[in-house]
Chains A and B, each alone.
Chain A
Amino acid sequence: MGKIVVILGFLSRLLYAEESTTQDHSFKNTCISCHQQQQIPSALIYKRYLMKYSTDRGMEEAMFIYMKDPKKENSIMPAPFFLKFPMKEKISLDDSSLRKHIQAYLEEFDIKKKLMLEK
């Protein structure tokens, strides 16, 4: 019985890791590659959202609204930002995938992880 539990646990972990890697891969292809091409400062955008919403939940919700309906009113970026960078096209991802991509984005640029105490 114990062996079965261990094997099942191992398999589920393997599946999760695979899914996570697939998710990560998809996020980088869908979002980051384009951002890098257009030289969009992703870290800066993250900090701006963080400064306004404080929590991941708040940021995710604000980003989700903007992604579903990309327009100046739904963005927190200043007007001059859109002079330099084109307004984003409406995304074709379904809601669930979009939320997963946003969460991956927040995870990728989370600056709170960098916080540490001086040794």
Chain B
Amino acid sequence: MLRSEKRSLIRFLIIYLGSTFILFSIASWLFYISSKHHLLDKQRESLKYEAEHIKSQLRILHQSNDAKLIYPNEKDSQSAIYNVDKEYIFGTFQTKQSLDINKYENRLYHSMKVEPYYLGAAYLVVAKDINFEPIGKLQRNIFLFMLGAGLFFTMLGYFLGKLFVAPMRDAMEKMNHFIQDTTHELNTPISTILTNIEMIETFGKHKENSTELKRIEIASKTLSRIYDDLTYINLNHKYHRQIVTVNMSRLVEERMVYFSAMAEAKGLDVTVTTDPNVILQIDKNDAIRLLDNLISNAIKYNRSKGLLHVTLTEDLFSVRDTGIGIRSKDLSTIMQRFKRANKSEGGFGIGLDIVNQVVSSYGFVLEINSKEGEGTEVRVKWEK
């Protein structure tokens, strides 16, 4: 799966599943509240029934001439009777309860008037503990439903997401194939040109400082670098890195020699400051891609006869130019693939994407400070 495709799919799933989850949560909550009320109402109904039963028992007791009047005592509930002045007469509560319904707030209660006043009772209160078992069962069922719905919608979302990103994937694959084919076709002529330039320079069949030859050399190296970048991007997902000890100081000097023709052609004042023997454990191709892209960008987007400062220390590598700069609104997106903040120069917009990939792979820190019209400084700090 392509990186961009994966990112799009994850974004789609987050939005789709997030909104579905919120919707289902609200619906489940409303259902839970309604069902809970229904369950409590059912328990209250049974309490009303018990109250009616006690009332009829009171009538029988009132008419009885027995020496002992056994007060009706229901198994799961407690009750009490009160006279017309709301004074306690008798009941099954452990303590004498006053006729204050607030005392029953954590329990279910039912209060009813009794008339005529059997045994002097004008009010009857029946209370019992809430049976939480059906409510717990309801909560479990809702949880299982949410879990099942979550799984179902995740699978559905994944399937739909794949469908949605399919056209984008096709387009990306076509583009990748095109780049692959192009790079393959470019390799041979570029190598031929560069080899022949080297031969001409070596065997002296040219005039010293021939401008035409320099131009051919710069153009060929630019092509060569584009070829390397495109190959790197193409092979990145299946590229096996070989971590070796690289002397970055020597490498920076080599790459500066490689780019010297380009810098000279633009009339840049180049300053290279490197600490001796800065050593990194890194894949050499990654290191070259990192340096090449930052240096070539600084040359390409510099103004004519501008300044180029390249610094390498034990802590960081920095490239500072006096070029066109980057708009502050573009700084956050400048590292995306194919993103080009300025189209005044040629390119594919893959340079900083490659730099970002290398930086992320090794846990380096990338900092870009830029002021539009004044210049840009890119710093790569080796330590986190």
Contact = CB atoms under 8 A, between A and B. Distances in A.
B168 interface: no
A6 interface: no
A58 B70 contact: no
Contacts of A55: 83-85, 87, 120
Given A54-B83, A55-B84, A55-B87, A116 B69 contact: yes
Contacts of B61: 115
Interface stretch (B19-27, B111-119, B262-270, B371-379): B111-119
13 contacts: A43-B65, A50-B117, A51-B117, A54-B121, A55-B85, A55-B87, A57-B85, A111-B69, A112-B120, A115-B61, A116-B68, A117-B73, A118-B71
A90 to B, nearest CB: 29
A6 B273 CA distance: 112
Contacts of A58: 84
Question: For the complex, would chain A's binding face be called helix, strand, loop or mixed by DSSP majority?
Answer: helix
A45 to B, nearest CB: 14
B224 interface: no
A47 interface: yes
Nearest to A50: B120
A84 interface: no
A58 B122 CA distance: 13
Contacts of B117: 50-54
A114 B67 CA distance: 6
Interface string A25-60: 000000000000000000100010011111101100
A112 B89 contact: yes
Contacts of B90: 112, 115
B68 A114 contact: yes
Interface of B: 61-63, 65-71, 73, 83-85, 87, 89-90, 92, 116-122
Interface in A94-115: 111-112, 114-115
Contacts of B84: 53-55, 58
Contact of A117 (B62, B66, B92, B119): B92
Contact of A116 (B65, B70, B118): B70
* Max count, chain B CB within 10 A of own CB: residue among A52, A54, A112: A54
A117 B70 contact: yes
B38 to A, nearest CB: 34
Nearest to B59: A51
A112 B73 contact: no
Contact of A51 (B62, B68, B89, B92): B62
Contacts of A117: 70-71, 73, 92
A52 B122 CA distance: 10
Nearest to B117: A54
A52 B119 CA distance: 10
A113 to B, nearest CB: 9
Given A58-B84, A117-B92, A51 B69 contact: no
B76 to A, nearest CB: 16
Contacts of B121: 54
A45 B122 CA distance: 19
A47 to B, nearest CB: 6
Contacts of B85: 54-55, 57
A5 B259 CA distance: 120
Given A54-B83, A55-B84, A112 B119 contact: yes
Contacts of A57: 85
A83 to B, nearest CB: 23
A115 to B, nearest CB: 5
A50 B71 CA distance: 17
Contact of B62 (A53, A111, A116, A118): A111
Contacts of A51: 62, 116-118
User: Which 8 residue pairs of A and B lie closest in terms of their CB atoms, listed nearest first?
Assistant: A54-B84, A54-B117, A51-B116, A114-B69, A54-B83, A115-B90, A54-B120, A55-B83
B58 to A, nearest CB: 10
Contact of A50 (B67, B68, B119): B119
A52 B114 CA distance: 11
Nearest to B116: A51
Given A47-B62, A55-B85, A111 B70 contact: no
